[in-house]
Structure 1
Amino acid sequence: MKKILLSLAVAAAMVTGAHAATINVGTEATFAPFEFMDEQTKELTGFDMEIIEAVAKEMGDDVRIQNMGFDALIPSLQTGIIDVTVAAMTITPERQKRVDFTNPYYQSGLVIMVRKDDLRKYKDFNSLEGTRLCAQIGTTGAMMAKRVKNAKVTEFNSITEAFMELKAKGCEAVINDKPVVDYYLARRGDGTVTTVPQVFDAEHYGMAVKQGNKALVEKLNEGLKRIRDNGVYDKIYAKWFGAH
């Protein structure tokens, strides 16, 4: 009987262990309010960081987060350095050829940031023709900037650098995700820059994993569903963006 009980205990431990894991997460921590370094605590924080932590907790897992360049995220997935990318990454057909995505967890869109004195001059993408544009490397904002006819596009490692270049008159506009721009204007805006009052190209953010890792996609999707159903997602959203 003791042997039977011992065997059952070992089996139970093995089953429990099979469900628990440490998920290696890659992010690019210069994209407030989604992921950034808190200036006071010196720790990673933001909407994305709280979402992945909530998902992992719901599924009984832990997370280990690595900060790296945005353009290194997909290669790091492909080589197994990280398991999942949570970095306000837009689900695009081009990226879907290289990685698999979870269900969308956030809907965004692109906006054009300009100096307030230039607001009447630049009203849409067509008005940016032939201008100098700034964007963050590897983002959909950078992709859109490159589609503007005869524009000279300068890409930066962080979106903060792009914002600074605009204020220094090194470019005429920055193209980037609306929530990131809104957060910047609310926290660090000085009244000299603003956005064109229109949102372009609605887009969805997803968590990316290595192609073929169906089990992890299913686990993350289940975690996302649970935090939406139990209200945790809404609490995190309200903290960073207000009620929706």
Structure 2
Amino acid sequence: MTFGTIFAQEGTKADEKDATYEKIVKRGYIVLGTSPDYAPYEFQTTSNGKSKDVGMDISIAKDIADDLGVKLKIKNMDFDSLLVALQTGKVDMVLSGMNPSAARRKSVDFSDIYYKGGQSIIINKKDSRIYKDKSSFENKKIAAQTGSIQYNLAKKQIKGATVSGIEKGTDLILALQTNKVDGVVMEKPTAEAYASNNSGIKVINGGFELNDDETSTAVAMPKNSPVLQKKINGTIAKINSKNLIPQYLKEAGTYLKGNTANTSMLHYWKYFAMGVGYTILISLVGVIFGFITGTLLALLRLSNSKILRMISTAYVEFVRGTPLMVQLMFVYFGLGLFVNLPALTAGMIAVSLNSGAYIAEVIRGGINSVDGGQLEAAESLGLNKKDRMRYVIMPQALKNIWPALGNEFISLIKESSIVSIIGVTDLIYQLKIVQSDTYRGVAPIVVAMILYFIMTYSLSRLLKFYERKFN
């Protein structure tokens, strides 16, 4: 059956083009982008020892996939990365409690509205007498999710307030409970979900002046996706006609109760174990390929060729002069326009390339630290340049650079946590998920700190053992 036939059957103009829809039908699955830390819209729960995404948005996404006749694949990442992922083809649609604001409509298309809520403010219960609505927060500290409608509302409508953008809902609640902020602006259903599972906080009516876009939730999709938009709107119409939204919210509430039935960190040991495994894998790959890249760059910088020296110097200076987060986003989203790299692969590439630049300088310094007499002695023995470097210079340089290399390797374990922003399930990513599932802010952080310390301390002991061997 041709695409033209499919379009005709569905009441769509045969000459109407939609590359996104054609791609989805051809490969047999649709990719959903979401940030699973926003109950009851989307969050994670444990079923039969495995983590899965649940919530109202996930139920709607499943309905959309079923109506399209394809499978649903879910890609998790930070909220403020979702629209970038949509624009670069990493995902086909976004359901993440997203409001279809005018600014967002310039970049992506939206479906019809599938849910209307409101905007609330969460406060500590002990402050109930102080805060009543948004006017109570003038010249106070308030927080909202980065890149959200709530953040913009707080900036525009709360006079004199210092507004902080924080990526994760769990971190917002933690900031409130530790008195870093006085209140948190959050969508009403999500605010109520947090309050129902935390006796120390309370939800108040924000009293914001709202238009339809600021109280509504819709499905985001790439620009110029008319067929996909019609299909999704058809699913939303069916959901509304059957009044399924209350049922989906009720199911989400059941999962929430299950998550909070046992919030011990031991219960979530598999999450942390998986996070440690991915952290070690990314760090190990980064170390190996970083060392290879660094060695090559160091040798190029010490070569007699001016062009090779310039290339090596330019690479090292550029990588060291830009943040790893920006490099990661470029590899995953920028290169993603040409090559569809999985998040884990993109993370390992970015970490390896970044590490290589720093290791290059360490190795270059180690080579330059070898006494010049050693080179002269090697030349007097008739060794060529390759053999001089291999048998005389590098063995001595390695001894000199080993402590600095060790520090770079240890730093790599900690710095690799940045890959969590694109949805790689490393230790930091799993920490956020456990916080979201259990509504406990501090305990998962303590567990992650201990696990990072164990990894870095073990590596430190191993490096010192080999350092003694060299001596």
8 Å contact from structure 1 (residues 178, 199) kept in 2:
no
1:58, CA displacement in angstroms? Answer: 2.6
Q: Which has the higher helix share?
A: 2
8 Å contact from structure 1 (residues 135, 141) kept in 2:
yes
Which deviates more, 21-30 or 34-43? Answer: 34-43
Over 3 Å counting, the alpha-carbon distance change for 1:172 and 1:231 in structure 2 is: closer
Q: Which residue of 2 aligns with 1:31?
A: 38
* Mapping for residues 47-86 of structure 1, pairs under 5 Å: 47-86=56-95
Q: Equivalent of 2:146, from 131, 137, 152? A: 137
* Mapping for residues 72-221 of structure 1, pairs under 5 Å: 72-147=81-156, 148-186=158-196, 188-190=197-199, 192-197=200-205, 200=208, 201=210, 203-221=215-233
8 Å contact from structure 1 (residues 91, 203) kept in 2:
no
8 Å contact from structure 2 (residues 119, 205) kept in 1:
no
Q: Which residue of 2 aligns with 1:4?
A: none
1:228, CA displacement in angstroms? Answer: 3.0
Q: Deviations over 1:43-71 (max 9, x none)?
A: 11111001110222133222111001111
The 2-side partners of 1:76 and 1:125 are apart by 33
The 2-side partners of 1:140 and 1:66 are apart by 22
Q: Deviations over 1:180-239 (max 9, x none)?
A: 0111111x212x211224564361100001111111111111122223334544532443
1:85, CA displacement in angstroms? Answer: 0.5
Q: Secondary structure at the match of 1:30?
A: coil
Over 3 Å counting, the alpha-carbon distance change for 1:12 and 1:111 in structure 2 is: closer
Q: Which has the higher contact order (CA 8 A, sep 6+)?
A: 1
Q: Secondary structure at the match of 2:194?
A: helix
Amino acid at match of 1:172: D
8 Å contact from structure 1 (residues 59, 223) kept in 2:
no
8 Å contact from structure 2 (residues 140, 161) kept in 1:
yes
The 2-side partners of 1:107 and 1:180 are apart by 13
8 Å contact from structure 1 (residues 109, 199) kept in 2:
no
Considering only CA atoms, is the larger Rg found in Structure 1 or Structure 2? 2
Q: Secondary structure at the match of 1:44?
A: strand
Q: Deviations over 1:72-113 (max 9, x none)?
A: 111111111111001110111111111110001111111011
Q: Secondary structure at the match of 1:196?
A: strand
The 1-side partners of 2:4 and 2:109 are apart by 29
Could you tell me the percent identity over the aligned residues?
A: 27
Question: Over the residues paired in the alignment, what is the CA RMSD in angstroms?
Answer: 2.4
Q: Deviations over 1:140-162 (max 9, x none)?
A: 11111222222112221101111
Q: Deviations over 1:115-155 (max 9, x none)?
A: 12222222221221111112111111111122222211222
The 2-side partners of 1:95 and 1:14 are apart by 31
Over 3 Å counting, the alpha-carbon distance change for 1:39 and 1:163 in structure 2 is: farther
8 Å contact from structure 1 (residues 140, 176) kept in 2:
no
The 2-side partners of 1:27 and 1:115 are apart by 28
Q: Secondary structure at the match of 2:195?
A: helix
Q: Which has the higher strand share?
A: 1
Amino acid at match of 2:144: A
The 2-side partners of 1:235 and 1:193 are apart by 26
The gaps in structure 1 that reach 5 residues or longer are: 1-10
Q: Which residue of 2 aligns with 1:229?
A: 241
Over 3 Å counting, the alpha-carbon distance change for 1:144 and 1:232 in structure 2 is: closer
1:12, CA displacement in angstroms? Answer: 8.4
